Amino acid sequence: MKSPQEDRPRSLKALCEAVITNSLGEGGKRPYHKKRKEEENEEEEVKRSLEALFSSGNPVLGGLPAVKGLRDAVRLFVKKHAYLIEKTGGNDVAGVSNEPVNLRDALLSNQEAMEKIRGEWKEILENMYAVEGDDSTTPPGETLETDATTSSNFLFLDAGHTGAWEELQLEAKTPCSDARGFLETCVREWVEEGLPIEKGKPGAFVRALREVIDTELDSIVFDDHWEAWVSSLLMCVELRTKSSSSTSWEVLRLVELIYSRCTPQRKLLLLDFIAEEIQQPFEGVPILKDFLLQLFHRVLLCTAENIVGFMDDEIAQLVLKGLRVIADHLASFDTMDPQARWLKHILVRPSLVRDIASLPSREPELINKLTAAMPAPHAVGLMLIMLPLWMKEPGDEWTSTRIFDKLVDALLNKHVLDDLVEDAMACVDRCLRGLHTEKRHEHFGKVHSFLLSQEYSEVQESVGRLLRLLLCFSIPSAYDPGKSYRLLPTHLRSLEEYLLRRLEKWTRKNATHKIVVGDFWWEILRWHAADLPKVVARAVRAMCRDERRVGSPWDEGHLVAISYSVSSWRGLEDVLEDEQRAGSLNYVALLLNICAAASRASSSLQQERQQQQKQQQPPVSLNPTACWLLMRWCTNACARRGLFLATTEVLRSLTDDRDVTEGGLLAIPVEEFDSITHMPHAIPAQELNQKRMLATILSVRLWIATLNPFSQTPSVAELDVTGKLAQQLQTYWVDYDSNVSMPDKPFGEDSLLLLLCVLSMNRLTRVRKSGNHSQEYILQDSLKRLLAERRGHDPVWHLLQFLLTGVGSDHLAAILVHRYGTAQEVPLQIDVDKYETSVLHDVGEKELGAMKDLIGLKKGDKERETNLLPVLQLLLQLNGGDVSRAVAAFKKHSTSRWEAYGRCMDLAASVVERLLKSFPYLEERMRCEGVDVYYLSLLCTRRWLRDSVKFPDLARVSIEKFMRLGQAAWEGVVADSLGKHIEALWEQFSEADGLLRLCAESVILPVSPFLVLCLATDFSLKVNV
């Protein structure tokens, strides 16, 4: 005897057939002699049995695989689309709660999600519901007798059936057939007899419509009698609004749900009907008008979720319709949607940009009406979205300067909502490209005058907003193509004379303003430092104090902003070289500000800056901006040494490694950072951040070591990179001693190659000087011993050959950038006779002293001696150390002319000025690749044109042109030659390595391919001049 569990059906099909068999009798067959009434009673009994079977909580269904599969599908569906449930509480409409019916509507209105769940159900039913006995989910050997019978299948498909599973029905009569019949009766009365819905029917009409929509997911609610349906629905809105405000919200949700399931054409028609109803008079029922306006707004918000089905002209028509209704009822929309979110959401459709841009020409009256309503919140919100599309360039036919003026006035007078201030500032910045320079200057004067006319008590809460607005008209916009906009001299004088003291006074009153005021001056100095000497002096004086004033807006970042201008940087160098003035300068803070300059520029005057200030350490990264800024600061020997020592302090604060403590150049082996690249996910977050900080500071340290200064180096500012490299190579590779304690992960081949890359780039930027070369000889000996131990022609072998001979292979640039990722080839021939060592033609103090005496150079004149010393060294080197020949060459021209040729820093600054006039786009292009045009100009005038070892003929040609043409003409020739040289290199770089320039080959010291190309490619002057 089988247990009840064994007799229980295992499939949904068997279960249904068992219920029907029990209801109809043995075998489930009807006797032919039964009357019609008896048959109907039996059908009702079957219906009740099936309803009881599928009622909620029936334990019989619990163990069926089909039911379990359906439930699992629904559970996964709800979990996956939880964001739709959360979305129902975000419409900001009073009186709407997060009830289950709202959650259900949110799910049902998402057509894509519902299509997916229906597909899953269909697959489950196909696999588990209508299977034959041999495919049943019942295990073999336990097939029930009911499954083996040939009883009729009530889910059969007739000959005319389409085969869609969604249309299968257990009975001829659907559960909502009564509701659908009631709706059809109402519509028939409306169409045939012209009878509106009676007062007692609106509730039943709404409930019936809701039942049809909820029960039949795919039902088409509206048939050909569209006008009757919509008119009836809106009449229900009116009647329900008059009777009960709570039930009216249910009607609103119903309309939303219907709108989401309509075709785009029906959506437009529904929107038309609502708009027409809004235009009707509402005498005595103001709440109905408000309700219809909220309904209209909710429908507009729903459009963004179903925008895919619209044609471009349909969505444009919808937006225009919305703007027309809003223009007549702005007061209501100011309350419902002050930010104009409906238009923001719809703008995901790209074609709308074109339609909105043409609105002023197609709908001038509508635009004028919205403009006149400013500064109403909704009107301002609309203009913030549309105005940038109308102001594309100066002189544009439809440039709406009047709207822009009203927007600026609204910002000045605090008529813009706090939530819209950021959008308004972005809008102003985008619209600046559509204003003439004169108009921008006019707005600067307006905002500046407003700031000066207000007392602190009147603007203390809006200082940040006003300074940001003033900054918009003071510096080039982010959307200016040429970045050529500048303030007038009168405006700059007014900033120095009036605003400077006022802002400092305000920061002393309230220290919280110092961040926003400091960021304002940072941007101003970045673009106008050369024309603001008083502001520069104030910032420098504040940074060189032993004690900082409380509430002072100045920090080391302002020195970085001053260095953006070449002329201002030249003045700043005098301060850095004065030990008494620069003795209190915090180089650690200066280093961190240099490495954070890009983030400060991009997030200026934002709340993120306040968070950075609290952390006391801005985000540090060796990005292109930091690279070129470090290049500029390293042109000065004192600044370079201070920044290098600052990296040591930062490293010591992050780790207690022995090499860091002893000041080694490569303080940590490169191999320790492999995990950052290969397994960052396996490192705890705090440790990962520390390793990345270490890698960045170590990269900055090595980057500084590669960049040689070009100013005269005082003995106290000397940074002996050669000595540090020689010592580290000897310790870890040449004279390796196993008894000496080593790091946890010893220095390997990657570390060796990196040190050789640093040394190679240092050689490529080094200016030959006379003096003691003992460290150089030690280094050369170490390199020879390393080369003797190498086997094969790998990147290390190529760099050792270059460092020993001074002649680089074709692979030099690729090795410096890609290191071990470079494809290597064995050189066919090495012509050793052409190689020269780095210490040939050295000039000693004896030869220099003799030449000074012969030309009559007095020892007391330090300035003249400083300018002439490089020239004398060059002449001696070009003449093989022969003093008499060098003196004869010197006396061919006046001392003043030689003195001018010796002022390399001044010559480089003039060359840069001429270069940027002839090639204005080069500076920004080079900065994007991390290269400073001023450093490259100094490299040209100080090294390339004065290299007596590698390019003696070029050095002689340069001297000849300078003496024959004069300084101004020589500067023009060099600037033109350098500009064309850079252009040629850029073209070569874009073709060969442009696609790879963003790929860092190493975590430590990623090098710009373009810079390496500039260093490794020979330079030449124009010949026919």
The tens digit of pLDDT for each residue in 754-804 reads: 999 999 999 999 887 655 567 788 889 999 999 988 887 888 998 999 999
CA distances from 982 to 296, 842, 907, 919 (A): 60, 31, 18, 10
- To 10 degrees, the CA torsion angle through 785, 789, 792, 798? -20
| Most confident range, picked from 62-71, 233-242, 247-256, 727-736 | 727-736
Phi, psi of 623 (to 5 degrees): -90, 175
* Mean pLDDT value of segment 556-563: 94
Average pLDDT for 926-935: 94
Least confident window among 305-319, 561-575, 737-751, 894-908: 737-751
Q: How far is CA 578 from the centre of its chain?
A: 41
Most confident listed range (136-145, 158-167, 387-396, 832-841): 387-396
Burial class (CB in 10 A: 0-12, 13-18, 19+), 770: middle
Q: What pLDDT is stored for residue 410 in this prediction?
A: 95
The CA angle 78-124-82, to the nearest 5 degrees, is 5
976: which DSSP letter?
H
Amino acid symbol at 896: S
- pLDDT tier at 683, thresholds 50, 70, 90: confident
Q: How many residues does the chain have?
A: 1025
Cβ 11 vs Cβ 136: under 8 Å: yes
- Give the 3-state secondary structure of residue 297: helix
Check whether 614 has a pLDDT greater than 50: no
Strand, coil or helix: 324: helix
CA distances from 285 to 244, 278, 357, 814 (A): 13, 12, 39, 80
Cα–Cα distance list, 145 to 9, 127, 128, 129, 370 (Å): 10, 21, 18, 17, 77
Identify whether the C-beta of residue 296 lies closer than 8 Å to the C-beta of residue 271. Answer: yes
pLDDT beyond 80 at 653: yes
Q: Is the pLDDT of residue 807 over 70?
A: yes
Residue in the block written with tokens 């419902």: 336
Tell me what the pLDDT averaged over the chain comes to.
78
CB burial of 580-608 (b: ≥16 within 10 Å; e: otherwise) equals: eebeebebbbbbbbbbbbbbbbeebbbee
What pLDDT, on the 0 to 100 scale, is given for residue 306?
81
Report yes or no: 24 and 42 within 8 Å, Cβ to Cβ. Answer: yes
Position 145 confidence tier, pLDDT thresholds 50, 70, 90: very low
Give me the mean pLDDT over the 703-731 stretch.
Answer: 84
Please give the DSSP secondary-structure letter assigned to residue 416: S
Q: Which residue has the tokens 């300059």?
A: 597
Report for 158-162, 356-360, 688-692: range of highest mean pLDDT: 356-360
DSSP string, 429-485: HHHGGGS-HHHHHHHHHHHHHHHHHS-HHHHTTSHHHHHHHHHHTTS--TT-SS---
Provide the terminal-to-terminal Cα distance of the chain, rounded to the nearest Å: 116
Q: Does residue 333 carry a pLDDT above 90?
A: yes
* Six token digits for residue 136: 């049943």
Helices and strands per DSSP (H, E), number in the chain: 57, 0
Structure tokens at 457: 């008590």
Question: What pLDDT was estimated at residue 845?
Answer: 75
Q: The pTM is what?
A: 0.77
